[in-house]
Every structure is written in structure tokens, then in C-alpha cells.
Structure 1
Amino acid sequence: MARVGTGVRAVGAVLVAALGISLAGCSSTGGKRAEDARKAAAAQGKAAVNTPRWTFAMVTHSGEGDSFWDIVRSGAEQAAAKDNINFLYSNSDEGQQQARLVDTAIDKKVDGIVVTLAKPDALKAAVARAEKAGIPVITVNSGSAESKEFGALTHVGQDETIAGEAVGDTLNERGRHKALCILHEQGNVGHEQRCAGAKSRFKGEMENLYVEGTNMPSVRSAIGAKLQADSSIDTVVTLGAPFADAAIQAGRDAGSKAEIDTFDLNAKVAGALKDGTLGFAVDQQPYLQGYQAVDLFWLYKYNANALGGGRPVLTGPQIITKDQAPALEDYAKRGTR
């Protein structure tokens, strides 16, 4: 695949505009407000087809209150509304529990299962059980390397190694020399691939720092301590939008001038890019991941269509800098970027 350089390659939010969708913004903290926003967004959708009301389940590795997964879910629910789909969503950040949720979907005899493979070893047997039951599977977001091996129809998301390589190249172009890559979820193979990809292309020195992602004060403290101990660190790369703000605060606490860069985009990140607080963000278009996964299942059930030709359907990476942030800020505020 061609290497991804700096700059936005395509603005995925055009898809939303083309469909004439007006979504209520998702809460950045999850919970009831996010749930209400998702329901309101889905209610604005109108079935555009008269095909059977199939049932698709999505089972993700999201923890509770994760704003990234609010966006994925919004896209999936909007596509489900358009496609006359009964959509079921469940999640757990524990691999074995996620596998049990896949089993629950199998027991319900759903027509298709969308699943993330952040911890592929824990999900392999569950995916096999789905296929044995005659239920097709599409993987999304995590697990591009394992998707085909596990027998999934296709994978929708970004290749995490390619995304990491894009970060390494961008750091080189920005003249950085020593970087920290912040891993906030132990056992997430996609996160490891991001840092490894960045390190493989970065001409400077890159070190991984593992933090407790469920404890944001601890994340801030750990990053701050590292920056205080080593003033030569000129870059911190976080692997999720919520952790970018913690890194910014940690840098201030430590009196560090290190640039903060991040994977993923949300309204706060877009604002920080716009004012120069963040250097760049890597957008993998989560709304598109959810929307496309459901739409691909509908196409498969209706017309035996498939995309990708045996390769992942890539939704990223896109490198977003201060110059591009204003064009995406409104989409991020409403919760679709």
C-alpha cells in the first residue's frame, strides 16, 4: 500500500453531507446524554429500503463513557435506520466478556455480527462459533491483520501499522528528535502496532510509556514525571483523543515544551489543533467505520456484494494539522468526527 504522508487525503465527513444527515452531537463523556443523542440521531434517519428487517449486532472492546465509540455507534445506528436494520450494540473492554457478548448475539440468531479484535486471541473462538452457526462476521476498527485469518467477510478501519508509519514520517517532517508513545490499554495489539509503526519510520528515538488508561489523573502524573525526568523529550504521542488533553496538562505541569500529538479526533482535539496546542492528529474516521460496517452487511445480505477484494476497507489514516482543523471543527462538535 502507498505510504500516507501529511495532509488530509479525503474529508470523510462529505459522506454525511451527501446523505443530508443532521445529527445531534454525542456527549464527550458518554452516559445518558450520549445515549439520548444517539437515539435522536437514529430517529432522524428514515428507512430508504423495503428489504427484510434483518438484525445486526455490533460488539466492541469499548470501555464505558468512551467518546470515540459514541461516534462509531452513531454511524452504525444511522446506517441501520436507513437500511431498515434492527441494530443491537454491546461492549466490554475485557476480552473474555466481549467474547461472551458475541455468544449472546449468536444465541439471538442475528443476521450478522460486527466485532472488534483489539484482543484477537480472546475473540478467535467466538468468531468461529458465529461462522459455524451460519452468521457472517465483519471486523471493524481493530484486527485488520487477523480478520481474514478468522474468516471475516472483510475488515473496516485503518491499518494500525500504516497509521503508525504515517506518524513516524510526520514527526520526521516536523523535525522532532525524541518521542514518547503513550499506551493506555494493556494487551491491545492495535496500540502496539501504532507505536511500533511510528518507531520503525521515526529517525529519532522513540520510547513506549505504559499508563493506566482508566485513571486519567494517573495518566497525567505518569507522563508529567517522565517529562520532568528527561527534558530532551520533544514529542508525546497519545493513542486516543481523551489522552491528548491529559498529556497537554502533564506537559504544563512539568514545564515541558514537548509537542503533543495524538491519534483520533474529537471536538476538543479539533479546537486544540486550531489554536496550536496540539501539533497534529491522526483521524481514522470512526463514524465512517460504524456506518460502513452496517452498510456492507446490508449489501451482502441483499445482493451478495463485498468490498476490499480480500484486503481491509481503509478509513484512515488522515493526518490533521492546524491548517485542516477548522474545516472539520463543526463535524467534530456535532459528534460525527
Structure 2
Amino acid sequence: MRVLLWHVHGSWTTAFVQGTHEYLVPVTPDRGEDGRGRARTWDWPASVREVTPAQLDEEEVDIVVLQRPHELALAARWLGRRPGVDVPAVFLEHNTPTGDVPCARHPLADQRAIPIVHVTGFNELIWDCGSARTAVVEHGVVDPGERYTGEIPRAAVVVNEPLRRGRSVGTDLVQRLAHTQPLDVFGMAVEGLATPRHGEDEPGIRGYDDLPQARLHEELARRRVYLHTTRWTSLGLALVEAMTLGMPVVAVASTAAPLAVPPEAGVLTCRLDGLADGVRHFLRDPEAARFAGKAARAHALEHFGLTRFLRAWDHLLHDTTSRS
């Protein structure tokens, strides 16, 4: 099957393109948001092929995976075919709703031509999709291997653009916890959070901007514990990847996190002091951290394994094309 999709979410796409299909990814001269092309910091197979907007008009596309509302018009213009009318399509919703939650209407609510695919059951429950067909395909990750050493007695946090995204990703929680806990923050535009560098086990924030995925996994696995501060998101793939690495987890118990992290894998809490206590516990007890990390990895492999993820997507893609 020949699948058209935009490079929007690098970690999710990395898992998706491990399937058996051919994947067409638009590329533009500026490699902007609508034409990033192949990933540069993730490992994608040769089955992912860059195509320019001019080339798309001549491609035989079997299905379009839409991820942003404006891609409906973009696909119609570049393909010369309307998604859901002239070519089968699904809409992958990565995000939790914003605005009037829980009454927020999905942009594709009530239409029947394009199914809306959610990445968590929580999202399907919270978005108002009206009479639109919906499905849930939980995240999958490429197994990076059990790399955990926990040799650095600091907590790792992964978040992109923490200053812009603010409370939704728990930037304020990171800043408050850093008064008593040593935190290493990884992602894009995180240097603005950094405080003066301290010793390995002293409180404060150290920032590490946008590392390639393989290097990120290596660095995460060296930290003693993974801290997930996000209040309002679907389910951070970095959280799942950290569990797969064998890291213990301390997480804000919101959205889909309570179902993704079993009790034996770490600490889930809605209290700031609970987050601090959880981080402190694992920093002080390496054996407890290692034990929880092994439970986290076992759970992640069972529930977020690539085989289950790709099988679910194959079924969905084939079902959608067969209805057209």
C-alpha cells in the first residue's frame, strides 16, 4: 500500500514507517512544517520516500494519513484528489482538545467520510467527534533495548519548547521541583530553563537542546529516574521510550498516564510534594530504581510494542480502503 503522510511528529512517525508499506513524505525547498521530508535525527527505512508537491500529482496514493486540519486542503491541491472523496483517508489526532473541554468539538466532527483515529482512549473519550467514525490505536515504539544504568543521580525530563508551552507540559512544576531536586531537561529550546550548573546530585536544572534520538536514549538511560511533568497531553512518547529503556518513572497522574504506568513501575501522583518525594526516593535508592525500571520496561514492551501497533494500523488502513 502506498501511504501519504506529512512528517509532523517524528517519534510517532518513526514507529509508523516500520511497517510493510511504501510511505510518501512531502518535501519542500525550505523543509518547513508542510514539507520536512525524511527525518534527520531519527532512523527511517528506505521505504520512506520524499516527494515534492509537483510530483504528488503523478503518484498513485492508496490512502492519506492526515494529522492537521489544513492538510485536507493541502492534499486536495497537491494530489488533485479530495481526501475521503477521491482517495481514502484517515485523520490521526495526536492531541488532547483545547478550549471548552470537555465540550470541545473536533474539526472533523459529524462527517462520515474520514475516520478519526486517536492515540489514546482518553482522547477518544474527551474529544466531541459527534457522529464521525472513531478508532483508537495506542502508541507503539521501536524498542531501543534495555540501556538503563542510572549512574547519574539526577532526574531526566523530556519536553520540547517548555517556555512556550508552559503549564500544559508542567514547566512551572519543573521550575519548582528544581529548587530541591537535580533535574536534567532534554528537548528543543530547553536552554532557557537552565540554571547555573551544579554538581551531579545538587538541585537545579541543566538543559540539553534537541539531541538525535539515539543520543537522547543514551543520555536518558544514564539518569536515575524519568520525571514526567505534563498536565495535558495525549501521552508523551518520551515517557514510553524511557520505560522501554528500563527507567523508573515519576509522573503527574493525568490524561492517559495512569493507564500507561503501572504502580510497580514508579510513582503517579497529583501532588507536587508527591512528585518530589518520588524523585527523592529513587535518587536515594538505586536498587529500588532498577527494580521499578525493569517493571516499566516489561509493561512498555507488552502494551506499546511495535508488532501490536503495526498490526492495528494495518487493519485500520485496509478496512478504510476497502470501504471506499
Task: Pick the structure with greater CA Rg.
Answer: 2
Please state which structure has a larger fraction of its residues in helix. Answer: 1
- Larger RCO, structures 1/2 (Cα 8 Å, 6+ apart): 1
